[in-house]
Amino acid sequence: MPSHRGPLPRHATVYVAGHHGLVGSAIVRHLRAQGFANIVGARSGEVDLRDPAAVRAWFDRTRPDVVVDAAARVGGILANSREPVEFLSDNLRMQLNLIDTAHAFDVEHLLFLGSSCIYPKFAEQPIREDSLLTGALEETNDAYAIAKIAGIMQVDSYRREYGRRWISAMPTNLYGPGDNFDLQKSHVLPALIRKFHDATVAGADEVVVWGTGTPRREFLHTDDLASACLFLLENYDEPGPINVGCGEDLEIGELARIVADTVGYRGGIVFDTSKPDGTPRKLLDVSRLTGLGWKPTISVRDGIATTYRWYLDNEDDIR
């Protein structure tokens, strides 16, 4: 498929790595809605992305024209703190195999998805893309962040050495249908939905939320991220990361109250200050992306409401 920036041919074979996960499933939904008819993906049990031979065999069978790397080992503060080796090693192996194999099979279009945790813990807010590598990382997820930084460097290295027009996008905190609601592994928003739902069902008098409630976070619905991914593939061609977010943040305490209201919880909220807060604030500067003409469309309140409805519809499977 010839190199270009503009609408991707809807007959192109698009490989969404991690197609069954939170991010990948949203990208698949959006691509289908936009008319893409040949989207391929494989579960980890079918293709182990940590195995270079398995990845090469998959590319040989599918011959993708476009690769979206949404595959990653992900988790919240607790999971990242307990398993830094796995978060570093697994993510490095997966993205190295995917990106190297994409080059070997002459894939013209590739989008690598990272995370806003690549930026320094105390970066100036809102965080610009040029803040990368200017300070120390948040220690609770530094292993994961280093892996994602390496992915950006790998993409840029292929741009420099081989002229690949590949790109890297860094989303803010994500949520939506298909999220992980396991309290031991989930991120803050799905964990709050699970906690407040369980408390409501049990008639509990209070819900305990980790930390002080004062850190500020930005949240983007995965359907908005999926829209941004296709937009970038068709309109963007620059090295380095480009931020993807909504440009607004809120305190975790306020987020907890929104979730409680959405779920219908009427008890008290207690903040466990013995637990870590993580980065004090993490708001992305999304002016580069919005300057290209893209904007999100789903508010946090509306997004939480639809995510909770999905949770209720799938509660038996989740548990």
Q: Is 189 annotated as a binding residue?
A: no
Q: Is 237 annotated as a binding residue?
A: no
- Residue 75, amino acid: G
Q: Is 192 annotated as a binding residue?
A: no
Q: Is 23 annotated as a binding residue?
A: yes
Q: Is 41 annotated as a binding residue?
A: no
Instruction: Respond yes or no: is residue 144 known to be catalytic.
Output: yes
Active-site residue identified among 15, 119, 144, 265: 144
Q: Is 171 annotated as a binding residue?
A: yes
Q: Is 116 annotated as a binding residue?
A: yes
Q: Is 113 annotated as a binding residue?
A: yes
Residue pair 138/276 in contact (Cβ under 8 Å)? The answer is no
Q: Is 275 annotated as a binding residue?
A: no
CB neighbourhood size of 154 (10 A): 20
Q: Is 210 annotated as a binding residue?
A: yes
Residue pair 206/269 in contact (Cβ under 8 Å)? The answer is yes
Q: Which residues are annotated as a binding site for NADP(+)?
A: 18-24, 113-116, 148, 171-174, 187
Q: Which residues are annotated as a binding site for substrate?
A: 195, 210, 217, 277
**Residues annotated as part of the active site:** 144
